Structure 1
Amino acid sequence: MKQRVQKLIALAGLASRREAEKWIEQGRVTVNGRIVQLGEQADPDRDHVAVDGRPLRLEETPVYVLLNKPAGYVTTLRDPRGRPVVTELLRDVPARLFPVGRLDLTTEGLLLLTNDGKLAWRLTHPRHEVTKTYLVRVRGRLTREAQRTLETGVMLEDGITAPARVAGVRGSDSHTWLELTIHEGRNRQVRRMCEAVGYPVSRLKRIRLAFLELGTLAPGQYRHLTREEVARLKRL
């Protein structure tokens, strides 16, 4: 069955769809020896799909890794500025993994990596509303009014956010800790939400993705998901 070439690349675990689209635009992808254009389709059972001349393999064993990302690492497969990338923390994992969603350079915490492109797409697609919970430290004492705005929707430059859940609020006059749960995946969303209500973020850590939690993982450590966890993710 024919599918878009960028989807086949993602299913093979080589890259996210967005990254695969860039590879196609750069002329790095061929089907039956011909450079393809964005939007073209191919049948993996009949067509020879290759990236940089290397055949695409869709039979790779799926691998699912939960990483406690430290601050100072970028959530990409490579960085033109030479900054550390999260996959450097998984050098002893034989599979080529890519991140499910992103955490920015200074954000810590739970990051899922896999070569299962289909599951990664489902977990990041907005319609599935997979929740993500962050432990946030903001400057100043969070007012009840600001909390209500976070819980009902914050107007950002790219539109109003969906309602968030706020819990565990505690702190002092100098700062406030809170747990913020969202299901959208906009760029730097948590930081922008807090800044929009007048509270710049001084520390941000993702502690939960759906039902997955960091547990006792130290920064830079990872573990493989259990078979039961993978099955439960696929049911979301």
Structure 2
Amino acid sequence: MHKKERLQKVIAHSGYTSRRKAEQMITEGRVKVNQKVVAELGTKVGPNDQVEVDDIPIEKEEPVYLLLYKPRGIISSVKDDKGRKVVTDLISEEIEERLFPVGRLDYDTSGLILLTNDGEFSQKLIHPKFKINKVYVAKVNGIPSKQEIYELQKGVHQDGEYLRCVNSRMLKIDKKKGKSIIELTLREGKNRQVRRMFDSLGYRVEKLKRERFGSLTLGNLNPGEYRELTPHEVKQLLDIAEKNVK
């Protein structure tokens, strides 16, 4: 027997939008259940109920959660106006659900990115208030001092924005080549944030890779490869988010 679920949760799980936006659509009278407008947020629906948003039926897909090792030169989107390759192009056609990336990685940044069709899951992982740690490793042209690395935690100003990380540490120094490997932990994801932070100190990032997202790592994946998250991993991420809000 399939249990009934809140209407906004069903809409979010379909990949249509986040739960918060689904709630707004319901209160605006844009959602129908079995061809009748429903404006009550407490409404629950079952598997046999027909749900429409703006008169378009939503597909009640089973939630899918993938961990992808994004290579450099791939767009973190479901489509690109310039015809460049996007992350969903790397996913097998056997997965029929409409997936989208959780947050984004820049075009020239590689590493761990999640894909899902669960809007509520995505919202909890990318909103800064849930404080999910993302760990990046940067190859930098130059060797910042200890004080400069600490400055990244205190925060820097770049292009009118205040940018900071929650942790930063030197991993490796190559004095002959004048390069260094530095690890940064972020809880937000502003556009090109890591590169801009180093730019503010006068250093250029040559390579950037996200190695950890919450409790997840790339493991043995190669660039372009992906795997499904286990139910335990999904629960672990959501537990971290919920714990951080309290």
TM-score range normalised by the length of the shorter chain: 0.7 to 0.9
Which residue type is aligned with residue 116 of structure 1? Answer: D
Answering whether residue 191 of structure 2 is matched by residue 187 of structure 1, we say: yes
Deviation, 1:93, is: 2.0
Matches within 5 A, 1:1-236: 10-14=12-16, 31=31, 45=45, 50=52, 54-58=56-60, 60-91=61-92, 92-156=94-158, 157-172=160-175, 173-236=177-240
Change (3 A) 1:73 1:124: same
Equivalent position SS for 1:232:
helix
Bigger Rg, which one: 2
Deviation, 1:41, is: 8.6
Fraction of identical pairs, as percent: 41
Contact 2:12 2:120 in 1 (8 A): yes
Contact 1:169 1:179 in 2 (8 A): no
Contact 1:99 1:114 in 2 (8 A): yes
Q: Distance in 1 between matches of 2:198 and 2:223?
A: 24
Q: Distance in 2 between matches of 1:53 and 1:188?
A: 38
Give the aligned partner of residue 243 of structure 2.
none
Structure 1 gaps of 5+ residues are 25-29, 34-39
Q: Distance in 1 between matches of 2:154 and 2:173?
A: 20
Instruction: Give the aligned length.
Output: 221
Q: Distance in 1 between matches of 2:118 and 2:152?
A: 33
TM-score where L is the length of structure 1 = 0.80
Q: Distance in 2 between matches of 1:117 and 1:89?
A: 20
Structure 2 gaps of 5+ residues are 241-246
Which residue type is aligned with residue 83 of structure 2? Answer: G
Which residue type is aligned with residue 184 of structure 2? Answer: L
Contact 2:156 2:197 in 1 (8 A): yes
Which residue type is aligned with residue 173 of structure 2? Answer: R
Change (3 A) 1:166 1:76: same
